[in-house]
Structure 1
Amino acid sequence: MWVVHGACAGDGRLLVWAEDSELPAKVPGRAPRGPVAHPFAVPGEALREALPTDRSKVDNFALWLPSHASAPVPSPELVRDPLTAGPAPRGRIRLRSWLVPAVEIAAAAVPEVLTGIGDALPGCRLGASARFLHEVGRFADDVVSRGRVLPALETGGDRPEARWRPWLTGTDSARLVGLREAMPPSFRCVDAAPPAQALRTAVHALVDGIARVRAEIDVPRGRDATAAWLRALTGEPRFDADPDEVDRLARELDDWRSGTGEKPVRTCLRLHPPDDDEPWRLEFLLQPVDDPSVLVPAREVWQDGDSVLHRWVDDPQEALLSDLGRAGALLPELDAALRVAHPMELELDTEGAHEFLTSAPALDQAGFGVLLPSWWGRTERLGLKLTASSASTPGVVTKESAIGLDAIVDYRWDLALGDAELSEQELDELAAAKVPLVRLRGRWVQVDRKRLAAGLRFLEDSRTGRMTAGEALLHAGVGGDGAPLPVTAVTGSGWLGDLLSGQVEQRLEPVDPPPDFAATLRPYQRRGLAWLAFLDRLGLGACLADDMGLGKTVQLLALEALSRAGGSRGPTLLVCPMSVVGNWQREAARFAPSLSVHVHHGADRLGGDELAERAAAHDLVVTTYPLAARDATALSGIRWERVVLDEAQNIKNSASRQSKAVRGLDARQRIALTGTPVENRLAELWSVMDFTNPGVLGSLSTFRARFAVPVERDGDTDAADRLRRITGPFVLRRVKTDPAIIRDLPEKVEMKQLCNLTAEQASLYQAVVDDMLARIAESEGMERRGLVLATMSKLKQVCNHPAQLLGDGSPLPGRSGKLARLEEILESVLADGDKALVFTQFAEFGGMLVPHLSGRLDTEVLFLHGGTPKKVRDRMVERFQSEDGPSVFLLSLKAGGTGLTLTAANHVIHLDRWWNPAVEDQATDRAFRIGQRRDVQVRKLTCIGTLEERIDRVIEEKKALARLVVGAGENWLTELSTGQLRELVALSGEAVGE
Structure 2
Amino acid sequence: MLVVHAVWADDALTLWAEDSTGCAVTASRAAAAAHPYAADAETLRAALAAAAGEDPVAKAESGELEVCLPSTARHPLPSPALPPPPGTVAARPRALRRWRVDALVVRAGACALLAALRGTASADLALGADLAHLTAVHAFAEHLVAHARLAPLVVGEEPCARWRPLLTGADAAHFADLAAALPPAAYAHLDPAAPPDAAALVHAVLAALVDETARTALAADPPADAAPWTAALVGDEARARHLDPALADRLRESFDAAHRTTRPRLLLRLAEPDPEEAEDAWRLELWVQSAVDPSLRLPLRDLWRGEGGAWLGPDAETAALRALDRAARVFPPLTRALEMLAPDTVPLTLREAHAFVRAAAPRLDAAGVTVLLPAWSERAALGLRLTVRDRPPAGRGGVGADDLVDFSLEAALGGQRVDLDALAELARLKQPLVRLRGRWTMVDPAALRQTLEFLRRRGRGRMRRSQALALALSPAPETPAPIESADADGALGALLRGDSEHRLTPLATPPGFHGELRPYQRRGAAWLRFLGDLGLGAILADDMGLGKTVQLLALLADERARGTAGPTLMVCPVSLTGNWLREAARFTPGLRVRLHHGPDRPHGNDLARLLGRTDLLVTTYGVVSRDADELAAIPWRRVVCDEAQAIKNSGTRQARAVRGLRAETRIALTGTPVENNLGELWSIMEFANPGLLGPAARFDRAAGAGDDGGRAAALLRRRTGPFVLRRLKTDRAIISDLPDKQEMRTWCTLTPEQASLYRAAVDEMTERLDDTDGIQRRGLVLATLSRLKQICNHPAQFLGDGSPLAGRSGKLERLEHLLAEALAAGDKALCFTQYTAFGDRLAPHLAEVLGREVLWLHGGTPRPRREEMMRRFQESPEPMVFLLSLKAAGTGLNLTAANHVVHVDRWWNPAVENQATDRAFRIGQRRDVQVRKLVCVGTVEERVDELIERKKALAESAVGAGEEWLTELSVAELREVVRLAPEAVAG
Taking the aligned partners of 1:397 and 1:525, their CA distance within structure 2 comes to 32
Matched AA of 1:918: A
Residue in structure 2 matched with residue 126 of structure 1 by the alignment? none
**Deviation readout 1:555-606 (Å, 9 max, x if unpaired):** 1111111112122511111111111111111111111122111111122110
1:613 aligns with 2:609: yes
Match of 1:582 among 561, 578, 581: 578
1:556 aligns with 2:549: no
Deviation, 1:800, is 0.8
**Deviation readout 1:882-929 (Å, 9 max, x if unpaired):** 353352111111222222222222111111111111111122122222
Q: Judging changes above 3 Å, is the alpha-carbon distance between structure 1 residues 442 and 880 closer, same or farther for their aligned structure 2 residues?
A: farther
Residue in structure 2 matched with residue 774 of structure 1 by the alignment? 767
Q: Judging changes above 3 Å, is the alpha-carbon distance between structure 1 residues 934 and 886 closer, same or farther for their aligned structure 2 residues?
A: closer
Taking the aligned partners of 1:929 and 1:692, their CA distance within structure 2 comes to 42
Match of 1:546 among 520, 542, 546: 542
Q: Judging changes above 3 Å, is the alpha-carbon distance between structure 1 residues 522 and 886 closer, same or farther for their aligned structure 2 residues?
A: closer
Taking the aligned partners of 1:779 and 1:831, their CA distance within structure 2 comes to 52
Residue in structure 2 matched with residue 943 of structure 1 by the alignment? 936
Taking the aligned partners of 1:336 and 1:617, their CA distance within structure 2 comes to 85
Taking the aligned partners of 2:744 and 2:351, their CA distance within structure 1 comes to 67
Alignment of 1:232-631 (within 5 A): 267-269=266-268, 282=285, 284-286=287-289, 296-298=296-298, 318-338=318-338, 354-359=354-359, 362-364=362-364, 366-372=366-372, 375-376=375-376, 379=379, 381-392=381-392, 398=396, 403-404=400-401, 406-417=402-413, 421-423=417-419, 427=423, 436-438=432-434, 440=436, 444-631=440-627
**2:511 and 2:557 in contact (8 A); partners too:** no
**Deviation readout 1:690-712 (Å, 9 max, x if unpaired):** 111111111111211122x125x
Q: For residue 888 of structure 1, give the secondary structure of its aligned residue in structure 2.
A: strand
Match of 1:744 among 731, 737, 754: 737
1:913 aligns with 2:912: no
Taking the aligned partners of 1:360 and 1:889, their CA distance within structure 2 comes to 59
Taking the aligned partners of 1:309 and 1:931, their CA distance within structure 2 comes to 60
**1:955 and 1:962 in contact (8 A); partners too:** no
Matched AA of 2:854: V
Q: For residue 623 of structure 1, give the secondary structure of its aligned residue in structure 2.
A: strand
Match of 2:829 among 824, 832, 836: 836
**1:266 and 1:367 in contact (8 A); partners too:** no
**Deviation readout 1:969-993 (Å, 9 max, x if unpaired):** 2221232333322221121111110
Residue in structure 1 matched with residue 752 of structure 2 by the alignment? 759
Residue in structure 1 matched with residue 783 of structure 2 by the alignment? 790
Taking the aligned partners of 1:729 and 1:298, their CA distance within structure 2 comes to 50
Q: Judging changes above 3 Å, is the alpha-carbon distance between structure 1 residues 982 and 538 closer, same or farther for their aligned structure 2 residues?
A: same
Q: Judging changes above 3 Å, is the alpha-carbon distance between structure 1 residues 505 and 651 closer, same or farther for their aligned structure 2 residues?
A: same
**2:541 and 2:674 in contact (8 A); partners too:** no
1:174 aligns with 2:153: no
Q: Judging changes above 3 Å, is the alpha-carbon distance between structure 1 residues 962 and 282 closer, same or farther for their aligned structure 2 residues?
A: farther
Alignment of 1:624-703 (within 5 A): 624-678=620-674, 681-703=677-699
Taking the aligned partners of 1:344 and 1:793, their CA distance within structure 2 comes to 89
Greater Cα offset, 610-619 or 739-748: 739-748
Taking the aligned partners of 2:371 and 2:731, their CA distance within structure 1 comes to 38
**Deviation readout 1:747-804 (Å, 9 max, x if unpaired):** 1111100000001111112222233333444444334333332322222111111111
Taking the aligned partners of 1:273 and 1:793, their CA distance within structure 2 comes to 83
**1:286 and 1:320 in contact (8 A); partners too:** no
Residue in structure 2 matched with residue 710 of structure 1 by the alignment? 705
Q: Judging changes above 3 Å, is the alpha-carbon distance between structure 1 residues 961 and 488 closer, same or farther for their aligned structure 2 residues?
A: same
Q: For residue 610 of structure 1, give the secondary structure of its aligned residue in structure 2.
A: helix
Taking the aligned partners of 2:576 and 2:647, their CA distance within structure 1 comes to 16
Q: For residue 987 of structure 1, give the secondary structure of its aligned residue in structure 2.
A: coil
**Deviation readout 1:399-425 (Å, 9 max, x if unpaired):** 67x832x55443322112467643578
Taking the aligned partners of 2:668 and 2:644, their CA distance within structure 1 comes to 6
The alignment's TM-score, normalised by the length of structure 1, stands at 0.68
Q: Judging changes above 3 Å, is the alpha-carbon distance between structure 1 residues 356 and 296 closer, same or farther for their aligned structure 2 residues?
A: farther
Q: Which of 1 and 2 has higher RCO (CA within 8 Å, sep 6+)?
A: 1
Matched AA of 1:480: A
Q: For residue 684 of structure 1, give the secondary structure of its aligned residue in structure 2.
A: helix
Residue in structure 1 matched with residue 796 of structure 2 by the alignment? 803
Taking the aligned partners of 2:604 and 2:956, their CA distance within structure 1 comes to 50
Greater Cα offset, 317-326 or 535-544: 317-326
The alignment's TM-score, normalised by the length of structure 2, stands at 0.68
**1:286 and 1:296 in contact (8 A); partners too:** yes
**1:470 and 1:696 in contact (8 A); partners too:** no
Alignment of 1:816-835 (within 5 A): 816-835=809-828
**Deviation readout 1:623-664 (Å, 9 max, x if unpaired):** 011001111222222221111111111111111112111222
Residue in structure 2 matched with residue 959 of structure 1 by the alignment? 952
Taking the aligned partners of 2:584 and 2:413, their CA distance within structure 1 comes to 51
Residue in structure 1 matched with residue 806 of structure 2 by the alignment? 813
1:857 aligns with 2:850: yes
Which stretches in structure 1 are left out of the alignment for 5+ residues?
Answer: 1-167, 180-262
Taking the aligned partners of 2:645 and 2:791, their CA distance within structure 1 comes to 29
Which stretches in structure 2 are left out of the alignment for 5+ residues?
Answer: 1-166, 179-261
**1:600 and 1:621 in contact (8 A); partners too:** yes
**2:569 and 2:639 in contact (8 A); partners too:** yes
Taking the aligned partners of 2:377 and 2:546, their CA distance within structure 1 comes to 39
Taking the aligned partners of 2:435 and 2:756, their CA distance within structure 1 comes to 77
Residue in structure 2 matched with residue 5 of structure 1 by the alignment? none
Deviation, 1:836, is 1.4
Taking the aligned partners of 1:438 and 1:802, their CA distance within structure 2 comes to 75
**2:568 and 2:615 in contact (8 A); partners too:** yes
Q: For residue 598 of structure 1, give the secondary structure of its aligned residue in structure 2.
A: strand
Match of 2:971 among 972, 975, 978: 978
Taking the aligned partners of 1:517 and 1:777, their CA distance within structure 2 comes to 44
Taking the aligned partners of 1:397 and 1:773, their CA distance within structure 2 comes to 68
Taking the aligned partners of 2:821 and 2:619, their CA distance within structure 1 comes to 23
Residue in structure 2 matched with residue 845 of structure 1 by the alignment? 838
Q: Judging changes above 3 Å, is the alpha-carbon distance between structure 1 residues 441 and 930 closer, same or farther for their aligned structure 2 residues?
A: farther
Taking the aligned partners of 1:575 and 1:361, their CA distance within structure 2 comes to 53
Taking the aligned partners of 1:735 and 1:946, their CA distance within structure 2 comes to 34
Taking the aligned partners of 1:379 and 1:357, their CA distance within structure 2 comes to 12
Q: Judging changes above 3 Å, is the alpha-carbon distance between structure 1 residues 369 and 327 closer, same or farther for their aligned structure 2 residues?
A: closer
Taking the aligned partners of 1:449 and 1:177, their CA distance within structure 2 comes to 33
Q: Judging changes above 3 Å, is the alpha-carbon distance between structure 1 residues 315 and 866 closer, same or farther for their aligned structure 2 residues?
A: farther
Residue in structure 1 matched with residue 31 of structure 2 by the alignment? none
Deviation, 1:959, is 1.0
Taking the aligned partners of 1:493 and 1:737, their CA distance within structure 2 comes to 31
Q: Judging changes above 3 Å, is the alpha-carbon distance between structure 1 residues 298 and 909 closer, same or farther for their aligned structure 2 residues?
A: same
Deviation, 1:735, is 1.4
Paired-residue identity, %: 54
Matched AA of 2:607: L
Q: For residue 705 of structure 2, give the secondary structure of its aligned residue in structure 1.
A: helix
Matched AA of 1:750: E
Taking the aligned partners of 1:898 and 1:441, their CA distance within structure 2 comes to 74
**1:437 and 1:446 in contact (8 A); partners too:** yes
Alignment of 1:6-155 (within 5 A): none
Matched AA of 1:913: R
**2:423 and 2:452 in contact (8 A); partners too:** no
Deviation, 1:306, is 10
**Deviation readout 1:219-270 (Å, 9 max, x if unpaired):** xxxxxxxxxxxxxxxxxxxxxxxxxxxxxxxxxxxxxxxxxxxx98864545
Count residues in correspondence.
Answer: 731
Taking the aligned partners of 1:397 and 1:868, their CA distance within structure 2 comes to 75
Q: Judging changes above 3 Å, is the alpha-carbon distance between structure 1 residues 486 and 537 closer, same or farther for their aligned structure 2 residues?
A: closer
